[in-house]
Amino acid sequence: MYLPRAATLVTAAAGSVPLYSLTITETANGFTSPARGWNSFGLQANGPTGSGFVLNQTNVQRQCDVLASPAFTGLGYTYCSLDSGWSVGGNGDAYGRIIADSSLFNIADLAAHLHNQNMKIGLYVVPGGFQADENKTIMNTDITIGSVCSGDNGLARCNWNYGQDGVQQWHDSVVALFADWGVDFIKLDFITPGSPDNGANLPANESQTVIAYHNAIAKSGRQMRLDISWKLARDTSDFSIWSSNADSFRTDQDINNSGASSFTAWATVQRAIENYRQYIVLHTGMDETLSIYPDMDNLYVGNPAPEDGVSDDERFTIMSHWMGAGSNLMIGNDLTKLDSTGISILTSATALAVADFASKYPMRPRNPGTGNEGSEQLQAWIGGPDSNGKAVVLLANYGPDQGQGGFNTTLTGSQNITVSWGDLGISGNFSIQNVWDPSQEFEVRSGQLSASLSEGQSFFVVMTPVN
């Protein structure tokens, strides 16, 4: 099994930037941790040149049954999420509600299969009613879809005229149907402001559909997560809508290599980390409590390095960043082909305990030598401290900027990265444990931490105060 190498301690100067409290509390739909499980999109997008995966009930059960196996039992990977392609694409049922493609899925049966294994089911949806259903009457009303929904958003759907009678009722009817099936998670895609067009013709602002789905979930009587995407606006007014209605939101675009033989690329991961940094630094200038989790997109760390598209060092670094951010941990890999390194990354009890910690105390950047928050190739991050002074710290060497990393430097080879307690905004003496090699423990009383890291490598530690 591959393990990241140990760090060596050296010396650094102190910074003086204040470290404010940053926590995440219960979300709009009543969740106190981010989603953890599997999503089908990576295999759907990469399947033609990879596994040959076809989205249907048999193949989804084959994937998700892995998460119900003893290796994953009790680790929280409970969500089995279907991406685009599970539903009929051009029309709904007699009331215009979203329905499954019956040649591929029986959602109620799939939900029952998963629930019997203490797992949960998620479904993908996009905004709008079906254009082909404009003459159908919304359930429990005498309102036709076409009277409150018009135009073409490029997804075979019309755009709702929010605020008109009938619009909320349509959303209520869809979510009530999902509740009858036993759905636990809704992934709502193509939300604006934020989502790139990607061939669609999206209205400039689709935030009202997030509110409509949230209200429908509340009326359904069934607790469901609402995850919204992609690369959503982070300004105060829009973010307040996301926070008040959704449980997680995508901070970046898709990170998979669509149609390629590998799942992702390090250049894309650099971009995803930078987009998380841009988001989180908006919430570090004062004590703040958030009520929504970031979603940095699917995890591609479980299959061998050539298939993931990143090195083994980078696989550990990806998992460390996703966990430290308090992000959803939705695996995008082929779960039937996990290698030993992937299993060790995904099932480490020590690491997942850190993920639980960071879901309440998400990490933010603290530049080595200054404590500032700008993008750097050699970066430090801190999550916490909690009320007992415990914190997690991540040091990383992202390697040369491959175009979207934000730091625009090209240092090659191994680099020494040192962060002082002043840089991190903390003080005191700490017992330090390596997250990925828990047997490596040591005390630091000199007020600084350092590691020599190669390109794409990181050093992730838990810091516990000692006298």
**What integer pLDDT is reported at residue 446 of this predicted model?**
83
- The DSSP H or E segment spanning 295 is strand 293-295
Segments in 133-262 forming alpha helices (H): 145-148, 167-181, 207-220, 236-245
Task: Decide the pairing of beta strands 248-250 and 149-150.
Answer: unpaired
Alpha carbon 50 to its chain's center: 23
| Nearest alpha-carbon partner for 292 in 351, 225, 352, 237 | 225
Q: What is the token pair recorded at 98?
A: 């979203």
**Which pLDDT band, with edges at 50, 70 and 90, does 225 fall under?**
very high
Sign of CA dihedral 349, 388, 443, 397: positive
The encoded tokens of residue 436 equal 């990925």
pLDDT at 49: 45
Q: Per-residue pLDDT for 8 more than 90?
A: no
pLDDT in tens, 383-416: 999 999 999 999 999 999 999 999 999 999 999 9
- β-bridge mates for residue 444, sequence order: 430
H/E segment holding residue 449: strand 448-453
Is residue 421 very low, low, confident or very high in pLDDT (cuts 50, 70, 90)? Answer: very high
Predicted local distance difference test score (pLDDT) of residue 467? 85
Q: What is the pLDDT of residue 16?
A: 66
Cα–Cα distance for residue pair 194/28, rounded to 1 Å: 20
Q: How many CB atoms lie within 10 A of CB 108?
A: 14
pLDDT higher at 168 or 15: 168
Q: How would residue 2 be classed by pLDDT, with cut points 50, 70 and 90? A: very low
Other beta carbons within 10 Å of 124? 22
The helix (run of H) or strand (run of E) holding residue 24 is strand 22-24
Which residue bears the tokens 């530690």?
A: 461
Tokens matching residue 322: 């996703």
Q: How confident is the model at residue 80 (pLDDT cuts 50, 70, 90)?
A: very high
Residue-range domains of the chain with CATH: 28-362 (3.20.20.70), 365-466 (2.60.40.1180)
Residues belonging to the active site: 189, 254
Q: Are 263 and 333 in contact (CB under 8 A)?
A: yes
pLDDT digits (tens, 9 = 90+) for 33-75: 999 999 999 999 886 444 678 999 999 999 999 999 999 999 9
- pLDDT surpasses 90 at 6: no
| Angle of helix 107-115 versus helix 57-67 axis, rounded to 10 | 20
Q: What pLDDT is recorded for position 283? A: 98
pLDDT at 51: 60
Who wins on pLDDT, 45 or 245? 245
Q: Token pair of 252, please?
A: 């970046």
Q: Report whether 126 contacts 190 (CB < 8 A).
A: yes
Provide mean pLDDT across the span 185-209.
91
Q: SS3 of 314, please? A: helix
Provide the whole-model pTM: 0.95
Dihedral over alpha carbons 61, 65, 68, 72 (to 10 degrees): -130
Q: Which of 59-63, 125-129, 215-219, 257-261 has the lowest mean pLDDT?
A: 257-261
pLDDT at 199: 78
Mean pLDDT score of the chain, rounded to an integer?
A: 94
3-state secondary structure 372-419: CCCCCCEEEEEECCCCCCCEEEEEEECCCCCCCCCCCCCCCCCEEEEE
